[in-house]
Each structure stands twice: as structure tokens, then as C-alpha cells.
Amino acid sequence: MGQSFEDTLTQFRAHVKKMNSYGEALNVMYWDLRTGAPRKGMEARSEVIGELSADLFKMSVSDQMGGYLDVLLEPNTFEQLDAINRKIVTECKKEYDRSKQIPPEKYQAYVVLTSQAESIWEEVKPKSDFATFSPYLEKIVAINREFIDLWGYTGHPYNTLLDMYEPGMTVDKLDQLFGELRTKLVPLVSAIQQSPNKPHRSFLQQQFSIQLQKEFSLFTLKQMGYDFEAGRLDESAHPFATGLNPGDVRITTRYLQNDVTSALFGTIHEGGHALYEQNISPDLIGTPLCTGTSMGIHESQSRFWENMIGRSLPFWKQYYPKLQEYYPEHFSKVPVELFYRGINDVKPSLIRIEADELTYNLHIMIRYELEKELFSGTIQVHELPEAWNAKYKQYLGIEPTNDGEGVLQDVHWSGGAFGYFPSYALGNMYAAQMRHTLLEQMPDFEEKIERGDLLPIKDWLTERVYKHGKLLTPTEIIVQVTGEELNPAYLIQYFEGKYKDIYKL
Ligand code: ZN
């Protein structure tokens, strides 16, 4: 008699837990690198990260892993597993199959290439020098095409890349979702531009004490229900959230002396990501399910808190007096309605990360269309700058004057993260759809915000989204929460309601 499947399951879970421990150790090191690790130690640290990552990769494709999966995926055995174990097995199998297809030396070369490309990108972006970057990007795209062929795909080759960030997402679905959204957004943006009722925002661009911005950031996070015994707030050039485990979810923000909105909304955004990770069920600790279910759902939570709560009038009816107390000379003469309109100014712009919540989606569609064409082969890397500028002209009515504020502005492509961009716009759609259901189930939603009673909202989301971690798929989550699959109509409805009022259309 061999060992029972229960024994295999125990060994498999121990193996998975060990991989998870490596992952947590790596995440602490990345966090440390990005929040103030001494410069002279960076090279040695990068080597440590490289070695541990290689070990982690080996564990995910080892013969041992293959053996466990064979036993546990045997239909009679699989049937006897509980929901959590089934999902862990399925996730590990997906990862195993994907990684097994790629020859290790090919993968290693790709890692080296993308890390070179990221440094080159940093150098050429301020010089608007696409020509120097172009050969690297060509290689990255070519290797991704090879990977796609090795992995196999159904429908469009780009589907395989989309699935890495948003499981189940396809070009067909995105074309439909983005198509509907674009049809309504473009005329709305142009009506807004023609409106004579433009918000003022000069009062947001004064000199603001950094110390006070820090205090206000901490205050806002506490109001949202962010648990400071399970996290901390630090500073970094690019704000981010990192979930080590639900008891340790750290966020960063960025303070600009001349613009109070950067830290204000950056903090709420990362706080939204953090609420998700802090409230994952303890059953999932030490498994690959102890994280957000997809980039799109993760973004939905940061954007829900940042835009649908943080940029709403009820929120500022409650918290504006506090902000005025912090900055009396800046805001005492600015009424709350004026402040609210100022933080919701819509203006077509060239830089994605500075865009308002409305035009932001058009920035994403442009990137999506270009990526799709790169992988169907209808566009070549050297044609990107021209295609980029043409799309900006078409969707936003403005054109970059150089590639630094055009095709070179984002880091994603240099790291090979194709298929990632759509998550941001999907997040907006998921968030608006959840908000619609929340309004039905919690009719005093806005009154609650206006009273500063935000915890019931956090609890509502914990029950329906946060606690499940990766146990449910993005589609299962949205259907379970709202009763239907992702539907862009709710985002359109939310935008039309909000902006027709602000711009008096
Ligand atoms: Zn985010």
C-alpha cells in the first residue's frame, strides 16, 4: 500500500506553505528596496532576490510538485477535497503548466532582458529617445510571442496575456466592454469641455505643509477602517500597497508641497487596496489564495474608495471642516461645493497617471488597442509612437509633442507587463457596478458617508469581496455581489450622474 491521499495532501500543503514563506520574504525585501534601503546595498540585495526567486520558481515546477498534483487531481481524489484545497490545487496546476512550458534558460534570459530594458527606459524617457528603447521592446514583444505559442491560446493570442491579470478575460469581451464605454464617454468628455461651468482648482495648488499632509493621511486611513496594528504608512516615489499577510499590509504615499491632492487621493487609493488584503479570511493564510482575485478586482477596491467615496460630495461635507482646520489660510474662504468641483475637474491630458477618473479610461483603451495590435501583428514596435499620437488625437483631441509625454510614459512595457493596463478600467467598471448594488442594499449609503460612518461600507465589502481572497474568480465575485456579469452601463450611469451635475450639462 502506498500512502493515502490525505498524506499527500498534508505534504502538498506544507510545500505550498514553504513557497508562500519564500514569497513573503521576497515581498519584504522588495518593500524595503522601495522605501529607503541604502543605495550601496542594492546590488547585493538584488542578487539575494534573484537567488530566492529562482528557488521559488524551482519549487513551483519541481517533480515533487508534479507528483502531488498528479495524485490530487485524480478525479476520485479531487472530488473528496474541500473547496479551499480544490482551488489551491487548481491554482498550482495552472502555474505549474504555464511555467513548465518555458525552457528555464529562455526564462532566465527574459528576466535579464526586462531588467535591462527597465533601466534603459528610465534613461531614455526624459530624453524622449524612443529609438534607443525600440530594439529592447522589439525583443520583449518577440519573446512574449514565443511564450504565447508555447502556452497555447484560444481566440486571440493576446488572450493568454490578459488571463494572467484578469482570469477569464478575452479580447472579445474587452472589445465589447470598452466599445460600449467609449461610445458614451467620448461625447460626455466633449460636452464637458464645451461647458462654460468650469471648476476652479487654483486653491489646490498652493504650498502645503508636508507634516500636516502626513497627519491628514493617517487620519483618513483611520476613518476608512485601515488597521494600523496590521500595517503602516511610508513614503515612496511611486505609491504602492504590499500585502505580506492579512496582519501586515503596508502602504506608501507621496507628498507634494505644491499639490495637496496627490497625497490625499494617493493615500485613499492605496488604503483601498490595503483594506482588501487586511480582510482576507484567516483560513487562506499560507496559501496562494491569500491575495486579491485579480488585478481588476483589486483596482476596483482602490478606485471605489478613492473616487466613489473620496471624491464624493458627502465625504467632503463630513471631512472638509477638518481639512479647513488643518489649512485655514488655504481653504477657509473656499466653500465645500467649490472644493468638491475642484477635485473633480475633467480635462483631456497626455499623462495617464495624472488623468481624472473619466478620461483615465480613454488612456487605458489606447494602450489596450495598441497591445492587441502588437500581438496580432498588425502593428510593429517601430510604428508605436505614430500610432500612439494618432490615438490620442482621436480619443482625447490632443497630441504629445514628444515621446516622453507619449509612448514612453509608462514603465509597464519595459517590464513586459502586456495585458495589465485593462485592469485599471475594468476596476472602474467593477467598482461602479458594486456601488449600484450597495446603494440598493444600503439606501442610506450617502448619509452614512456624510456622517463619517464608513465602517459599515468596509464591512459590506469584506463580506462580499475581501474575505474571499482568491477563492472565487473575478466573475464569481461580481455575479455573487451584483447578480450579473460585468456591465459597463453602471460606470456610464455613475459618470453621467456625477458630471452632468458638476458641469451643469
Ligand atoms: Zn491601484
Query: 289-309 pLDDT, tens per residue?
Result: 999 999 999 999 999 999 999
Q: Which residues pair with 253 in a beta bridge?
A: 235
Q: Which residues pair with 250 in a beta bridge?
A: 242
Calculate the CA 204 to chain-centre distance: 26
Q: State the pLDDT at residue 79.
A: 97
Q: State the pLDDT at residue 467.
A: 98
Mind giving me the DSSP string for 347-379?
A: ---S-GGG--TTTHHHHHHHHHHHHHHHHHTSS
What distance separates the 2 farthest-apart alpha carbons in the chain? 82
pTM of the model: 0.96
**Residue 383's closest CA among 397, 392, 393, 373?**
373
How far, in Å, is the centroid of ligand 1 from the Cα of 299?
5
Average pLDDT over residues 432-444: 98
Express as a percent the part of the chain with pLDDT over 70.
Answer: 100
How far, in Å, is the centroid of ligand 1 from the Cα of 273?
7
**Residue 359's closest CA among 395, 309, 409, 311?**
395
Residue 2: is its pLDDT beyond 80?
A: no
Residue 19: is its pLDDT beyond 90?
A: yes
How far, in Å, is the centroid of ligand 1 from the Cα of 12?
33
Q: State the pLDDT at residue 120.
A: 94
pLDDT band at 104 (very low <50, low <70, confident <90, very high): confident
How far, in Å, is the centroid of ligand 1 from the Cα of 174?
20
How far, in Å, is the centroid of ligand 1 from the Cα of 302?
6
Catalytic residue among 47, 74, 270, 463: 270
How far, in Å, is the centroid of ligand 1 from the Cα of 240?
7
Residue 262: is its pLDDT beyond 90?
A: yes
pLDDT digits 0-9 by tens, 115-147: 899 989 999 999 999 999 999 999 999 999 999
Share the mean pLDDT of the chain.
Answer: 96
Q: State the pLDDT at residue 1.
A: 53
**Residue 165's closest CA among 410, 418, 465?**
418
Average pLDDT over residues 355-361: 97
pLDDT digits 0-9 by tens, 389-400: 999 999 999 999
Q: State the pLDDT at residue 334.
A: 97
Q: Which residues pair with 241 in a beta bridge?
A: 251
pLDDT band at 225 (very low <50, low <70, confident <90, very high): very high
Measure the CA–CA gap between 144 and 142, rounded to whole angstroms.
5
Catalytic status, residue 270:
yes
Residue 334: phi and psi, rounded to 5, are -105, 115
Q: State the pLDDT at residue 40.
A: 92
Average pLDDT over residues 97-121: 90
Element (H, E) at 27: helix 5-34
Residue 300: phi and psi, rounded to 5, are -65, -35
How far, in Å, is the centroid of ligand 1 from the Cα of 5?
41
| Burial (Cβ within 10 Å: 0-12, 13-18, ≥19) of residue 422 | buried
Residue 189: HSE in the Cβ half-sphere, 13 Å Cα cutoff: 24
* Cβ neighbours for 209, distance < 8 A, ≥ 6 positions apart: none
The one-letter code for the residue type at 318 is Q
Beta-strand pair 233-235/248-253: parallel
